[in-house]
Structure 1
Amino acid sequence: MEEGPDKPLSNQKKGKLGVALEIAENVGLEFDTAALEVLDLLRVYRNSMIHNSLEWPADELLKFQEKIAALPHDLFGIATTDDNPTFFVINRSFVDAVEKSIHQLIEDMAGFLYFLMYPGSSAMTQ
């Protein structure tokens, strides 16, 4: 199986977060998919910036551009040369999306804990 910083968490070796998500899934805790995707995108960007700084290999630049192509265009700023990406920066709208995603995950966990404390309730479906 191919691994790398741009692979989804489910395809990576299980780190602490991967194990935590697997345990959560096994006990019935469901996280908002969009929130997980935003946080996974943050993880990919962070890993590439830490490992490559501002000089990403050309193939990683293209992979990241493909990964964000379906997203709203205001999440990242992209510098290009001859229509090829050379540099990505996070825009304020991405910071806001990350913040919203973290809040959503906290709400998901709170709803799950409420459901565990009050099994007859419908807090998980609200």
Structure 2
Amino acid sequence: MHEWIQVENGVGTVGITNHAQEALGDIVYVETPEVGATVTIEDQVGAVESVKAASDIYTPVSGEITSINSILADKPKLINQSAETDGWLYKIKLSDESELEKLLNDAQYKELIGE
């Protein structure tokens, strides 16, 4: 629920929201999915650990993982610095773009978290 996706030419870039990274605090470890893995919407694909808690990452769409943000292995705090830009987790080639219609848009998400 606290993942974001930005899609361009059928490939989505996925990360956790700024709200999620603020709730987690200082991120110390990131587990990303394997490149080439085929995943189904809402599958667990990784995890983020902070000094306060660990949180599983679930894919918002189905498809094939095409790349991961390898910088996060050495610099997990990049998510704290820019969760919704440079701190992205992975890219996925969507297998069913209609799944995007089920996701919250930015305004709906902000209403959900009370912003």
TM-score band (shorter)?
Answer: under 0.3
With CA pairs under 8 Å and 6+ residues apart, which has the higher RCO, 1 or 2? 2
- Higher radius of gyration, 1 or 2: 1
